[in-house]
Structure 1
Amino acid sequence: MIDKQSPLPIYYQIEKDLKDRIERGEWQEGHMIPSEREYAEHYNVSRMTVRQAITNLVNDGFLRRQRGKGTFVASKKIQQKMVRLTSFTEDMKQRNMIATTKVLSFTLMKADSLTAALFQMNEGEEIAEVQRMRLADGLPMALETSKLNLRLLQGITEKVIQHSLYDYIEHTLNLKVGAAVQKLEASVARQHESALLQITKGSPVLLMTRETKLKDGQVFESVKSVYRGDRYAFVMEMNREG
């Protein structure tokens, strides 16, 4: 219950109470929680206070709002450990989830100066730019935009990238994926991203950029991915030694 004499803010106490119910399994995924008005009456507080608690839980991925219907318990986040370079398809397979890809665009273009320098090619050489929607069990997880080095990745077509790019590289081209430099930061969904990811504009997202190399050190892709903040989490394991 709420202790109005506590130094803890009332909205925080409500937030913790609702979060505890989710974590105890009292409310299952997809459960519709009571309205703000009902909670305001239950806790004897203002609707604004309840709204702040619920908004915090939505932003943290515990709840999701559905316009015109209500607020529901969200799906649990998929956690990806950042200890090994894997593809999205491999990540989902490890979690017994079905990964699918929707190709939004496949465009052949000339490399600009920055991309040419990254791929160690001449400016104006042909590369491919690909935009894909990545889904797990049919649910949108990430919007991915990639620039591909066609000098290294011969035979890349729209059909190929509907599946795992890394699988094609290693089993069809007989090349070895080596290492990547990856950066992760917090961001918010822009208009076109929110429409594709089925979230509201301004919702929290995880912005990931990566440059991936073959075993011999040549960069074959530059990727920008926007992950739904309510469905995806990156986990890092760190050791004090070394």
Structure 2
Amino acid sequence: MIDKKSPLPMYYQIEEDIKQRISNNEFRPSDMIPSERELSESYEVSRMTVRQAMTNMVNEGVLFREKGKGTFVADEKIEQPLQGLTSFTEDMKKRGMEASSKLISFEKVAAPLDISRKLAIEEEADVYQIQRIRYADQKPMAIEKNFLPVAMFPGLSEAIVLGSLYHYIEQTKKQPIGKANQMIEATTADENQASLLDIPTDSAVLYIERNSFLTDGTPFEVVKSSYRADRYKFISDIYRA
């Protein structure tokens, strides 16, 4: 419960209490949280105080709202370390989750200027443009758009990209992957992204753009991804110089 004599704000105490109840499995993922009225009566505070606590937890991704239904406990976010270059399939396997993909498009296109520069190929050279929805345990997690030079991977097919591209590149093509440059920024889902990810329009997403290189320094891939911010978070170890 909450201590009204505490210097900590009451809404903060409510947040911490509900988080503890989630941690103790009193509330499990997808469980509906009691209504604002019920919580205000239980904590003996105003509904405005409860609403602030609930809104903060929704913004954190601890809870989510469904219009006309109520507020529910969100699934635990998947942590993705920023150290180390791994594929989505490898990430999910490490967590004991089943990775799968739905292919939205697979086509050869003339490389746009920004892509050709990052792949160090001639402007308008042929590239594969591959768009997939990535799933973890059958739940949509991200939309990925990959660009790879056709000249480097002439045998690439739809069947291959439904699996792990990195496995194909390293195990089949025998081209070891070395490093990547990656940019991450916060944005919101447009109507099409929201539909593919099964989230409301304007929901928070993490936009990631990555340029990947083989061990010999050859760029082989540009990836533009949009990850659900309510299901994914990135973590990093930071050291003082």
Q: How does 1:13-32 map to 2 (within 5 A)?
A: 13-32=13-32
Q: What runs of 5+ residues in structure 2 fail to find an aligned partner?
A: none
Q: Does the 8 Å contact 2:2/2:43 carry over to 1?
A: yes
What TM-score comes out, normalization by structure 1 length?
A: 0.92
Q: What runs of 5+ residues in structure 1 fail to find an aligned partner?
A: none
Counterpart residue number, 1:35: 35
Amino acid at match of 2:52: Q
Is 1:237 aligned with 2:237? yes
Q: How does 1:137-216 map to 2 (within 5 A)?
A: 137-216=137-216
| Residue aligned with 2:209, SS | strand
Offset, 1:10: 2.9
Offset, 1:6: 4.2
| Runs of 4+ more than 6 Å apart | none
Whole-angstrom distance in 1 between the partners of 2:144 and 2:92: 16
| Residue aligned with 1:168, SS | helix
Q: How does 1:87-98 map to 2 (within 5 A)?
A: 87-98=87-98
Is 1:130 aligned with 2:122? no
Offset, 1:4: 4.2
Whole-angstrom distance in 2 between the partners of 1:57 and 1:107: 41
Whole-angstrom distance in 2 between the partners of 1:179 and 1:186: 23
Offset, 1:126: 0.8
Identity score, percent: 49
Counterpart residue number, 2:225: 225
Offset, 1:7: 4.1
What TM-score comes out, normalization by structure 2 length?
A: 0.92
Whole-angstrom distance in 2 between the partners of 1:54 and 1:97: 29
| Residue aligned with 2:158, SS | coil
Deviates more, 1:210-219 or 1:143-152: 143-152
Q: Does the 8 Å contact 1:186/1:204 carry over to 2?
A: yes
Is 1:86 aligned with 2:81? no
Whole-angstrom distance in 1 between the partners of 2:20 and 2:186: 25
| Residue aligned with 1:159, SS | helix
Amino acid at match of 2:90: E
Q: Deviations over 1:65-88 (max 9, x none)?
A: 233332221111111222211100
Deviates more, 1:197-206 or 1:42-51: 42-51
Counterpart residue number, 2:53: 53
Counterparts in 2 of 1:209 and 1:154: CA distance versus 1, 3 Å = same
Amino acid at match of 1:9: P
Whole-angstrom distance in 2 between the partners of 1:188 and 1:202: 5
